A and B are shown apart, each in its own frame.
Chain A
Amino acid sequence: MDSTEKNIGIISKGILVIAGALLVISLFNPIWRIELDAPQYPEGLALTIHANKIGGDVEIINGLNHYIGMKTLHADEFIEFTILPYIISAFALACLLVILINKKKALYLLFGAFVLFGIIAMVDFWRWEYNYGHNLDPNAAIIVPGMAYQPPLIGFKQLLNFGAYSIPDIGGWLFIASGLLMATAVFIVYKKQKK
């Protein structure tokens, strides 16, 4: 077997450089956003989730959520905001590392790990939404029997007077693009191997 067959081609290497760079950029941009619309908020409210913090109209949303007894959001209560920047940086470095190692197996491993991370992150996000949406103060002013306020994982959901729209933000799209680039690299390498 030719040694080049185990290696990664120049095109895939280039793709990996871009994929790593996108991950670095995503660190400085909001990854996810939950947009809230209500009749009395024509200007809209938004909660943005960055790798290291929560941004947007947090105070206003906390103020509104006290009616339904939802816990207030505080970034320091989430371990995620401490470790996420390290994980994303690690993936960016791993992209470069794979280029240096120059082994197909390393690339497959990277891609596998990245997809797994994406799934775990979404599961974690869902869990956090579930907890906030369901753990309500029994002394809350507004209690609607059977009503929970879990925002959608992705897409739109009506929660009382608020329409909640959950979508990736710039960082999230970069993250997805990075994953797609990795997939392309994997595809190119895999096709070449088959020949």
Chain B
Amino acid sequence: MKNLFKMVALTGFVAATGLQSCKPKDTSNAVSGDAGIKAYVAPGKYDEVYNFVSGGFSGQMSVYGLPSGRLLRVIPVFSVDPEKGWGYSEETKPMLNTSHGMVPWDDLHHVQLSKTNGEYDGKWVFGNANNTPRVARIDLTTFRTQEIIELPNSGGNHSSPFITENTEYVVAGTRFSVPMDDANGDVAIDTYKENFKGTLSFISVGKEDGKMDIAFQIQCPGVNFDLSRAGKGVSNGWFFFSCYNTEQANTLLEVNASQKDKDFVMAVNWKKAEEYIKAGKGRKQAVKYAHNTYSEKTHTATSEIKTEVLVLDSKELKDICYFIPCPKSPHGCDVSPTGEYIVASGKLAAVIPVFSYDKMLKAIAAKSFDGEFEGIPVIKYESALYGEVKKPGLGPLHTEFDADGNAYTSMFVSSEVVKWNIKDLKVIDRQPTYYSIGHLCVVGGDTKKPTGKYLIAYNKITKDRYLPTGPELSQSAQLFDISGEKMKLILDFPTIGEPHYAQAVLASVIKDKSVKMFKIEENAHPYAAKGEKETKVVREGNKVHVYMTAIRSHLTPDNIEGIKMGDEVYFHVTNLEQDWDVPHGFAIKGADNAELLIMPGETQTLKWVPTKVGISPMYCTDFCSALHQEMTGYVRVSPAGSNVPLKFGTGITKPEVAAASK
């Protein structure tokens, strides 16, 4: 009996120690000795790569340098940013206008660098708004949002802003199907199948000025469009969208949209769509959407409400859209550098199917269909399939490519990156991520000529990666060196918001185009004061316009009297500096909006409605010079109806002490 007890205890001990050694390796094992050197960029040296990272629920886009992981800038896009006056200054308010009025926040999921011949040309970067459907264009000479266009007939703009190989179009597929804008939307939610439609928007982009315009929309069956990619090379002229919820559920999608064994990848022949439009097939539909543009000449945004969009019906025009069955709620839908292979990742699938563009075309020609879904032909799975990556891991999401014919797929559930060969579909390497990777990005990873070298994993769960900061943690990104056969983890870095997709480009494509300042003589702002002689204060009824200048280290005028309760004061502040990196800020006590941050040569306006009689100090908020603390002034606010005259100036009388020293 005693022996038996001993034996049980011993077995237990052996089992316990044995199991300990079976535990997965932690990070210390995953990082090799020379990782620090690989991610090290010496002080004062430039990074090799710009990394444009979506801010997710922050609504902004951040720019990191790689391989250091240093945050270079946060570009305000869809969310207000009081720090920069974005969405608060009179000039930038119109940028956030929509058909719903001012929407001061959004959820920016994906970024796309503009392309020429399927390679990054460094002109613009686009971002999508997932909540109130919009697409933004950011200029890469100023790193500022220059244009935002709203999308009609859309629920949530998720499969966006993916672009064609010469930036002919930016697309936007709706994640939530909804009734069309010109239909009666006041319907029972469970009439989804009957009343809800999915639309794909094709936004044209001006070759030189980048100006966006909704060229056409394709009305599709009500499903959820998730992600998309343009064909390239051989498949240029086509677009591929992943679709889930082909069950057309309107409630408890978690269960109800996971019923079918296969959902779809939708292949869209956009060249064919163009032909139909030329042939006059589109329907002009009455809608309402905002189109906002920012001018770097007037330093002012304008918002226009547009009222018409051209819609093609995928049901009527048979040969634009085709469905390809794809296992289990596909998410990522990525096209190989040659354009021949389309990699679709079923979030819940055990394999990664790889479709062949060539086979797809042949299947369409041979009408190798498995019937129709909502009037759209469904190509037989096997007829379009090139092959399946077996046992890739759990929860495949997104795939990018390197220059050597390899693909890298993120695995959310098994928390790893898996490298596999596009030709033989064999897994080459797998490395853990910390924790639960979402998107990944290879430098140039969606172009015809990927640069490779680095892969960045954007993880959804952070937990113990950094010093704890309470319940809310920043999201973690991880940098891998992929120059060898095996991927090597070389750096962790925290990010802003919640990054989804990101893109990375060699710094040389962008850095020399960067603008240092705006030329004051080209400033066409209607309220600009292009020199201190042009400063003035003008009363128009209860509106008071202050034409103010800022230069190291004073505001002109810095003393203003004659403001009365009930006035609306507009401070139009022009930064007169013509030197690199000398912004001035402007703030006034009690302002209920924000501050201004004005770049050299620029004019920005802060509206201020005084709420108290008395003296309100104002000052420069950006430490501009040795005498920054002196860059201040006062506004005297008198009661309504007071007869204090308008009076303003700077340095009219020299201080007593200076006079005495003469």
Q: Which residue numbers of A lie inside 8 Å of B, CB to CB?
A: 43, 59-60, 63, 67, 138-139, 141-142
B578 touches A138 (CB 8 A): no
Select which of A43, A59, A139 is within 8 A of B580 by beta carbon.
A43
**Could you write out 18 A-B pairs with CB less than 8 Å apart?**
A43-B580, A59-B578, A60-B578, A60-B579, A63-B551, A63-B552, A63-B577, A63-B579, A67-B627, A138-B658, A138-B662, A139-B654, A139-B658, A139-B661, A141-B553, A141-B626, A141-B627, A142-B626
Residues of the B chain whose Cβ atoms lie less than 8 Å from the Cβ of A60: 578-579
Q: Across the two chains, which residue of chain B brings its CB closest to A60?
A: B579
Q: Across the two chains, which residue of chain B brings its CB closest to A59?
A: B578
How far apart are the CA atoms of A60 and B578 in the complex, in Å? Answer: 7
Q: Across the two chains, which residue of chain A brings its CB closest to B581?
A: A40
B515 vs chain A, min Cβ distance (A): 15
How far apart are the CA atoms of A95 and B630 in the complex, in Å? Answer: 58
B577 vs chain A, min Cβ distance (A): 7
Residues of the B chain whose Cβ atoms lie less than 8 Å from the Cβ of A43: 580
Interface string of B572-593 (1 = CB under 8 A from A): 0000011110000000000000
How far apart are the CA atoms of A142 and B625 in the complex, in Å? Answer: 12
Q: Across the two chains, which residue of chain B brings its CB closest to A142?
A: B626
Interface string of B634-662 (1 = CB under 8 A from A): 00000000000000000000100010011
Question: Which secondary structure dominates chain B's binding surface?
Answer: loop
Q: Across the two chains, which residue of chain B brings its CB closest to A161?
A: B626
B655 vs chain A, min Cβ distance (A): 8
A38 vs chain B, min Cβ distance (A): 12
How far apart are the CA atoms of A63 and B577 in the complex, in Å? Answer: 9
Residues of the A chain whose Cβ atoms lie less than 8 Å from the Cβ of B626: 67, 141-142
Interface string of B605-620 (1 = CB under 8 A from A): 0000000000000000
Residues of the B chain whose Cβ atoms lie less than 8 Å from the Cβ of A141: 553, 626-627, 630
A145 vs chain B, min Cβ distance (A): 12
Q: Across the two chains, which residue of chain A brings its CB closest to B516?
A: A43
How far apart are the CA atoms of A138 and B630 in the complex, in Å? Answer: 18
B528 vs chain A, min Cβ distance (A): 18
Q: Across the two chains, which residue of chain A brings its CB closest to B655?
A: A139
Q: Across the two chains, which residue of chain B brings its CB closest to A141?
A: B627
A138 touches B661 (CB 8 A): yes
Residue picked from B579, B630, B658, B661, most chain A C-beta under 10 Å: B579
Q: Across the two chains, which residue of chain B brings its CB closest to A140?
A: B658
How far apart are the CA atoms of A141 and B658 in the complex, in Å? Answer: 10
Q: Which residue numbers of B lie inside 8 Å of A, CB to CB?
A: 551-553, 577-580, 625-627, 630, 654, 658, 661-662
Residues of the B chain whose Cβ atoms lie less than 8 Å from the Cβ of A139: 654, 658, 661
How far apart are the CA atoms of A129 and B579 in the complex, in Å? Answer: 24
Residues of the A chain whose Cβ atoms lie less than 8 Å from the Cβ of B577: 63
Give me 12 other A-B pairs in contact (C-beta within 8 A), A63-B552, A63-B579 excluded: A59-B578, A60-B578, A60-B579, A63-B551, A67-B626, A67-B627, A138-B661, A138-B662, A139-B654, A141-B553, A141-B626, A141-B627
Residues of the B chain whose Cβ atoms lie less than 8 Å from the Cβ of A138: 658, 661-662
Q: Across the two chains, which residue of chain A brings its CB closest to B630?
A: A141
Q: Across the two chains, which residue of chain B brings its CB closest to A137?
A: B658
Q: Across the two chains, which residue of chain B brings its CB closest to A43?
A: B580
The 10 closest A-B pairs by CB, nearest first: A139-B658, A60-B579, A141-B627, A138-B661, A59-B578, A138-B662, A139-B654, A63-B552, A67-B626, A43-B580
Q: Across the two chains, which residue of chain A brings its CB closest to B654?
A: A139
Residue picked from A59, A138, A139, most chain B C-beta under 10 Å: A139
How far apart are the CA atoms of A141 and B630 in the complex, in Å? Answer: 10
A44 vs chain B, min Cβ distance (A): 11
Residues of the B chain whose Cβ atoms lie less than 8 Å from the Cβ of A142: 626
Residues of the A chain whose Cβ atoms lie less than 8 Å from the Cβ of B625: 67
Residues of the A chain whose Cβ atoms lie less than 8 Å from the Cβ of B551: 63
Q: Across the two chains, which residue of chain B brings its CB closest to A143?
A: B661
How far apart are the CA atoms of A67 and B626 in the complex, in Å? Answer: 9
How far apart are the CA atoms of A59 and B626 in the complex, in Å? Answer: 18
Q: Across the two chains, which residue of chain A brings its CB closest to B662?
A: A138
A160 vs chain B, min Cβ distance (A): 10
Residues of the B chain whose Cβ atoms lie less than 8 Å from the Cβ of A67: 625-627
How far apart are the CA atoms of A141 and B657 in the complex, in Å? Answer: 12
B583 vs chain A, min Cβ distance (A): 14
A40 vs chain B, min Cβ distance (A): 9
How far apart are the CA atoms of A63 and B654 in the complex, in Å? Answer: 20
How far apart are the CA atoms of A160 and B485 in the complex, in Å? Answer: 55
Q: Across the two chains, which residue of chain B brings its CB closest to A64?
A: B552
How far apart are the CA atoms of A139 and B579 in the complex, in Å? Answer: 25
Q: Across the two chains, which residue of chain A brings its CB closest to B579?
A: A60
How far apart are the CA atoms of A68 and B401 in the complex, in Å? Answer: 58
Q: Across the two chains, which residue of chain B brings its CB closest to A139?
A: B658
B377 vs chain A, min Cβ distance (A): 61
A136 vs chain B, min Cβ distance (A): 12
A56 vs chain B, min Cβ distance (A): 13
Residues of the A chain whose Cβ atoms lie less than 8 Å from the Cβ of B661: 138-139
A161 vs chain B, min Cβ distance (A): 9
How far apart are the CA atoms of A48 and B340 in the complex, in Å? Answer: 59
How far apart are the CA atoms of A67 and B662 in the complex, in Å? Answer: 18
How far apart are the CA atoms of A1 and B654 in the complex, in Å? Answer: 78
Q: Across the two chains, which residue of chain A brings its CB closest to B658?
A: A139
How far apart are the CA atoms of A43 and B551 in the complex, in Å? Answer: 21
How far apart are the CA atoms of A67 and B625 in the complex, in Å? Answer: 10
How far apart are the CA atoms of A67 and B630 in the complex, in Å? Answer: 12
B622 vs chain A, min Cβ distance (A): 14
How far apart are the CA atoms of A141 and B631 in the complex, in Å? Answer: 13
How far apart are the CA atoms of A43 and B626 in the complex, in Å? Answer: 20
Residues of the A chain whose Cβ atoms lie less than 8 Å from the Cβ of B654: 139
Q: Across the two chains, which residue of chain A brings its CB closest to B578?
A: A59
How far apart are the CA atoms of A59 and B577 in the complex, in Å? Answer: 9
B45 vs chain A, min Cβ distance (A): 13
A58 vs chain B, min Cβ distance (A): 11
How far apart are the CA atoms of A142 and B551 in the complex, in Å? Answer: 17
A110 vs chain B, min Cβ distance (A): 44
Residues of the A chain whose Cβ atoms lie less than 8 Å from the Cβ of B552: 63
A167 vs chain B, min Cβ distance (A): 23
How far apart are the CA atoms of A139 and B625 in the complex, in Å? Answer: 18
Residues of the A chain whose Cβ atoms lie less than 8 Å from the Cβ of B553: 141
Q: Across the two chains, which residue of chain A brings its CB closest to B661?
A: A138
Q: Across the two chains, which residue of chain B brings its CB closest to A66?
A: B552
Q: Across the two chains, which residue of chain B brings its CB closest to A42?
A: B44
How far apart are the CA atoms of A59 and B580 in the complex, in Å? Answer: 12
Residues of the A chain whose Cβ atoms lie less than 8 Å from the Cβ of B658: 138-139
Residue picked from A63, A67, A141, most chain B C-beta under 10 Å: A63
How far apart are the CA atoms of A60 and B553 in the complex, in Å? Answer: 14
How far apart are the CA atoms of A72 and B31 in the complex, in Å? Answer: 59
A152 vs chain B, min Cβ distance (A): 24
How far apart are the CA atoms of A43 and B582 in the complex, in Å? Answer: 14
How far apart are the CA atoms of A138 and B661 in the complex, in Å? Answer: 7
B654 vs chain A, min Cβ distance (A): 6
B531 vs chain A, min Cβ distance (A): 12
A72 vs chain B, min Cβ distance (A): 13
Q: Across the two chains, which residue of chain A brings its CB closest to B657?
A: A139
How far apart are the CA atoms of A141 and B655 in the complex, in Å? Answer: 12
B574 vs chain A, min Cβ distance (A): 15
A50 vs chain B, min Cβ distance (A): 21
Residues of the B chain whose Cβ atoms lie less than 8 Å from the Cβ of A59: 578
A190 vs chain B, min Cβ distance (A): 53
